[in-house]
Structure 1
Amino acid sequence: MISNTKHRFFLSLFFFMSGLSFSTWASRIPTIKTTFGFNEAELGSILLALPIGSLLGLPISGWLVSKYNSRGPLTLGYGLNMLALTLIGFAHNTLSLVLAVVVFAFTTRIFNISVNTQALTLQKRFDKKIMGSFHGYWSMGGIAGILLSTLLLSFNVPIQIHFTAVAIVMLSLSLYAYQYLLKGDRSETGNKLILSKPDPYIFYLGLVVFLCAICEGGMFDWSGIYFQEIIKVEIFTYGYLIFMTFMATSRFLSDFIVARFGMPKTYIMSASCIVSGICLAIIFPYFWTAMVGFSLVGFGTAAVIPMSYALAGASKKYSAGMAISIIATYSITGMLLGPPLIGYLAHAFNLRVSFVIFALCGILLIPITQLFFKHQRLSDQSVKPLS
């Protein structure tokens, strides 16, 4: 009998590995841009492959976790993801690069839906909140990936060796950790998508995740470029590193913050950090002000996705896996629009102007989250029995 504590440890390991693999790719985007000689608009078009691949993987991932236990799709998806990461490193032309990125995003979607389904199932076995810590380990993995990239960049290690080494180590860990994942977590109800008028509960959460995805996806893909071209530092991973460091810190603190202040206030604080951080980095494009600005954005975006997934798991209409799959559609759409939009705006104007998009998304988070909690209160009141 595997204890819940051991389940939690190895599930946290998968979140960590997920963050590391994604940051390994994202931290080398400037390398890819330089190698292929892309301008901002061309890079934006290449980055479209990421959300397109995720969209292709979405219906399959939702079907897999609703038909089977999630640990199989989780481990298989992660293994194939490591293969795709290796192929990105060895891409020799634009077509092979795009195909590799599509497969990378496709497999990322499968194990992301699966790992979050596991997390929501395990959360029900604990009295205290643990969702934020899972996503905190994702950010810790992201930090580890960036630190490794920074180290290897300083030694001029080729991207092919970098990506292959990461893939081999992570694949070995995932195969070992498989045995400690939850079994029998398939829900018997709420596994079918109901085509009808959008459920306001899911719709509002979807909009929140959409806005956050634009910020997160844009920061993942463009923070290195911002420090390379606007801040003009040779080691361009500094911005991405500080962003991920404060995202990790915030996620480990998010369960405490939510318990202390409640989700409505936490959403407002998150939005305020995003807006103030981006404005600081745009208005004062210098190394230390940009570092402080990016840290605020990381702290602000961190809690939004875990809170929204936790709320989605409480849906009365859908199972946890299906609710997350639907919410992920909005997230992928944000990823689809965000990074390419930044690239096109940067090409038309400049990179500093394009980052205003993140501030606008942060501002919009406040009224939409308030609408969600108003709807939640009204729904709760309508189902209370008359005394």
Structure 2
Amino acid sequence: MMSPTSPSPDAVRRARRAISTIFLLNGAGIGAWAVHVPTVQARAGFDTATLGLLLLTIAGGAMAAMPLCGALIARHGSRRLTLASALLFPITLAALVGASAPASLFVFAFLFGAANGTLDVAMNANATEVEKARGVPTMSSFHGFFSLGGLFGAALGGLMLKFGLGDGNGVLVLAGVMLVAVMLTVSSTLHVAPVPGEHGPGVRLPRGPALYLGLLALLCMAVEGALVDWSALVLREQTGASAAQAALGFSLFSIAMAACRFAGDGLVLRFGARGVMVAGGLAMAAGVLLAVSTGNVVIAALGFGLVGLGAANVVPVIFTAAARTPGMAPGVGLATAATVGYSGLLLGPPVIGWIAAHAGLAVGVGSLALAGVVIAASANIVRGAGANAVAAKAEGEVVRD
């Protein structure tokens, strides 16, 4: 039975829809940014190395903010941090895409990174609370909404470029819509009052399994982050695609990832978490190598789609395992692993930019195949994670939509 303090089934259903919407909006913003990267680069006159420095500034903003998230969530719960960061995210996105002066670009890049990094941790922590309240694994579907949003944002961004709205005005309108959606939605997110003394320090130095899980998440997210910022440039440089055509790579990546994530919980239950990790890592490696070794825009885009299929459920499986790290409360364990993991999402693009500046873009992006190989070879750490549904059902009432 549900305890007297547990949320009602209706509240849990509303919370699931609300946090799914936040994931969707965050993905849409990232997708819109992805296809505007070449335009921002051209407008500012940045070479590859300077663009890499701009992306590193985004990473710096996130890494400055994320260590504070675990402590804030442990003290105040995840809802407040989700609201604040979900409002700041579209504002900083519009400012970044619309800026042209180098100094303002770097300032807004730092603020955008801080808002996005905070939102990543906060919404995942809130999603974990909803998953626990539902009593069945749900994390893959939340990440599916993020990928669906990435698809929508990339497609919309491609249309903005096609119709001459790449100067920031198109993203400004999108940001306004996102702000309204957040204000209409976030009040329904789940609020779990922190239990005094339960969580201990909000941020802990990763150790043992938590460190290992965080590093694997880092590798997977490094691939995702690199494709956000470099996939359009790969298609343009390798195949001669136009700016609008270059959006196809990230679009297929998002389509494949969203489709596989919505099926992810069932795949884990059927094939096991280890099987999903092995297949995912190998598919990521193969897709990256295919994308950087062809001059055909369609084949290269399909390679990025294969990367999406492989990466889809790696991070949700890792987050589920991290929430059950021995010796750490679920929320703190997740926040700690997420902080390590998201450093890959944010640091991956500038690192690839540095490699590309010295060895070429194909070599830089192609090096991401190594991450897939390591993930596949390290899959034993999540063995048994597929049994979480049985454990969750045993703990309490299952809330179904």
Pair in the same fold by TM > 0.5: yes
Check if 1:307 corresponds to 2:317: yes
- Counterpart in 2 of 1:132? 140
Tell me if the contact between 1:117 and 1:320 (Cα under 8 Å) persists in the aligned partners: no
Q: Give per-residue Cα distances to partners, 1:205-228, cap 9 Å, x unaligned.
A: 011111112111111110011112
The letter for the 2-side match of 1:190 is H
The letter for the 2-side match of 1:251 is R
1:288 to 298, 317, 332: 298
Check if 1:92 corresponds to 2:100: yes
Give SS of 2:145's match: helix
Bigger drift between 346-355 and 129-138 goes to 346-355
Change (3 A) 1:179 1:141: same
Tell me if the contact between 1:70 and 1:186 (Cα under 8 Å) persists in the aligned partners: no
1:270 to 266, 280, 290: 280
Check if 1:190 corresponds to 2:199: yes
Q: Give per-residue Cα distances to partners, 1:221-266, cap 9 Å, x unaligned.
A: 1001111221211122111111111111111111111011010010
How far is the alpha carbon of 1:62 from its aligned partner? 1.6
Tell me if the contact between 1:123 and 1:131 (Cα under 8 Å) persists in the aligned partners: yes
Tell me if the contact between 1:136 and 1:247 (Cα under 8 Å) persists in the aligned partners: yes
Tell me if the contact between 1:208 and 1:369 (Cα under 8 Å) persists in the aligned partners: no
Bigger drift between 347-356 and 161-170 goes to 347-356
How far is the alpha carbon of 1:195 from its aligned partner? 6.0
2:240 to 223, 232, 238: 232
The letter for the 2-side match of 1:41 is A
CA distance in 2, matches of 1:352, 1:343: 11
The letter for the 2-side match of 1:276 is A
Tell me if the contact between 1:57 and 1:110 (Cα under 8 Å) persists in the aligned partners: yes
CA distance in 1, matches of 2:280, 2:138: 19
- Counterpart in 1 of 2:334? 324
Give SS of 1:158's match: coil
- Counterpart in 1 of 2:80? 72
CA distance in 1, matches of 2:48, 2:280: 29
- Counterpart in 2 of 1:381? none
CA distance in 2, matches of 1:98, 1:212: 26
CA distance in 2, matches of 1:257, 1:282: 29
CA distance in 2, matches of 1:332, 1:136: 17
Check if 1:355 corresponds to 2:365: yes
How far is the alpha carbon of 1:302 from its aligned partner? 1.3
How far is the alpha carbon of 1:202 from its aligned partner? 0.2
CA distance in 2, matches of 1:62, 1:49: 22
How far is the alpha carbon of 1:159 from its aligned partner? 3.0
Tell me if the contact between 2:140 and 2:264 (Cα under 8 Å) persists in the aligned partners: yes
Q: Give per-residue Cα distances to partners, 1:123-153, cap 9 Å, x unaligned.
A: 1122432110000001111111011111111
- Counterpart in 2 of 1:384? none
Tell me if the contact between 1:77 and 1:107 (Cα under 8 Å) persists in the aligned partners: yes
Tell me if the contact between 1:121 and 1:185 (Cα under 8 Å) persists in the aligned partners: no
Tell me if the contact between 2:256 and 2:309 (Cα under 8 Å) persists in the aligned partners: yes
Q: What are structure 2's unaligned runs of at least 5 residues?
A: 1-7, 386-401
1:171 to 165, 168, 179: 179
The letter for the 2-side match of 1:70 is S
Bigger drift between 324-333 and 127-136 goes to 324-333
Instruction: Report how many aligned residue pairs link the two structures.
Output: 376
CA distance in 1, matches of 2:284, 2:211: 22
How far is the alpha carbon of 1:303 from its aligned partner? 0.7
CA distance in 1, matches of 2:191, 2:146: 22
How far is the alpha carbon of 1:120 from its aligned partner? 0.8
Give SS of 1:159's match: coil
**RMSD of Structure 2 on Structure 1 (CA):** 2.1
Bigger drift between 113-122 and 329-338 goes to 329-338
1:13 to 21, 35, 41: 21
Tell me if the contact between 1:207 and 1:368 (Cα under 8 Å) persists in the aligned partners: no
CA distance in 1, matches of 2:297, 2:355: 23
1:111 to 119, 141, 162: 119
CA distance in 2, matches of 1:77, 1:283: 39
- Counterpart in 2 of 1:379? none
Change (3 A) 1:44 1:124: same
CA distance in 2, matches of 1:193, 1:79: 23
How far is the alpha carbon of 1:37 from its aligned partner? 1.6
Tell me if the contact between 2:74 and 2:194 (Cα under 8 Å) persists in the aligned partners: yes
Check if 1:27 corresponds to 2:25: no
Change (3 A) 1:92 1:279: closer
Give SS of 1:261's match: helix
How far is the alpha carbon of 1:371 from its aligned partner? 4.7
TM-score, length basis structure 1: 0.92
Bigger drift between 72-81 and 182-191 goes to 182-191
Change (3 A) 1:145 1:118: same
CA distance in 2, matches of 1:194, 1:118: 16
CA distance in 2, matches of 1:108, 1:152: 22
Change (3 A) 1:15 1:316: same
- Counterpart in 1 of 2:253? 243
